[in-house]
């Protein structure tokens, strides 16, 4: 996806990018490639692939499940190089974004990225999701939590739902195995105080690979025992 194709594809979804936003995406790409030589941020560095598989992919959430509330506090778990939260923040600067990642080198990159792009209302936290979910500063504090390509859905639920406030949403970004993961995560979703509200499916343009946003609503307080200690959700997922 060339930059022009990126602009056109977003315009077809009703998103008109300003010159400032286009410059931010260009600077984002430059910094991503530059820092990727120092630390492992992504296997994708070709410009057209980054614009398609990172930038456009991250923004699909805006038309599959619009973030229309002006005061949304969004938490991105396991963001890595900032996906999907930084592209979302560029297009919707009113979002209040918290990024949680377990690798301090990635947090250093994100802090530099936020400064270089001139973004405000973004904080990057060096922590494991299991620790953040038990911290009163972050537990049940977010209107929306999201995660992309981090772990199976039943594990992601234990990472993300404790951070989500009651009445809020966990938006899980998934690929072609979304239906299978949803079926396997039913017990985890119920146990953690939530329910499936819907699933929006689409395809990445050009290559027609499947994408899904699984929409999970937090309806009850998550039991205090969750999330369990670091490492346990992955080793012994709720099934």
Cα torsion for 202, 203, 204, 208, to the nearest 10°?
180
Q: How far apart are CA 201 and CA 180, in angstroms?
A: 14
* Nearest CA among 19, 161, 154 for reference residue 90: 19
Residue 167 is assigned to a ligand binding site: no
Residue 132 is assigned to a ligand binding site: no
Half-sphere exposure of 18 (CA within 13 A, CB side): 7
Give φ, ψ of 173 to 5 degrees. Answer: -95, 120
Residue 78 is assigned to a ligand binding site: yes
Q: How far apart are CA 155 and CA 152, in angstroms?
A: 5
Chain centroid, CA 170 distance in Å = 10
Q: How far apart are CA 87 and CA 231, in angstroms?
A: 29
Residue 83 is assigned to a ligand binding site: yes
Residue 142 is assigned to a ligand binding site: no
Annotated binding site for S-adenosyl-L-methionine: 78, 83, 129-130, 148
Annotated binding site: 78, 83, 129-130, 148
């Amino acid at each position: 996806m060339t930059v022009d194709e990126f602009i056109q594809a977003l315009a077809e979804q009703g998103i008109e990018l300003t010159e400032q936003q286009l410059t931010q995406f260009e600077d984002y790409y430059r910094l991503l490639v530059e820092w990727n030589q120092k630390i492992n941020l992504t296997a994708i560095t070709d410009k057209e692939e980054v614009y398609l598989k990172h930038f456009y992919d991250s923004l699909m959430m805006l038309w599959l499940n619009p973030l229309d509330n002006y005061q949304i506090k969004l938490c991105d778990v396991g963001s890595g190089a900032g996906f999907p939260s930084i592209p979302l923040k560029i297009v919707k600067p009113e979002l209040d974004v918290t990024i949680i990642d377990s690798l301090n080198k990635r947090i250093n990159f994100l802090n530099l990225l936020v400064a270089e792009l001139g973004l405000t209302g973004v904080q990057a936290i060096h922590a494991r999701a299991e620790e953040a979910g038990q911290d009163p500063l972050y537990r049940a504090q977010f209107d929306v939590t999201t995660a992309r390509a981090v772990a199976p859905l039943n594990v992601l639920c234990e990472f993300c739902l404790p951070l989500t406030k009651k009445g809020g949403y966990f938006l899980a970004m998934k690929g072609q195995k979304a239906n299978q993961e949803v079926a396997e995560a039913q017990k985890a979703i119920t146990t953690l105080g939530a329910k499936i509200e819907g699933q929006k499916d689409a395809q990445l343009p050009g290559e027609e690979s499947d994408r899904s946003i699984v929409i999970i609503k937090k309806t009850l307080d998550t039991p205090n025992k969750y999330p369990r200690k670091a490492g346990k959700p992955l080793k012994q997922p709720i099934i």
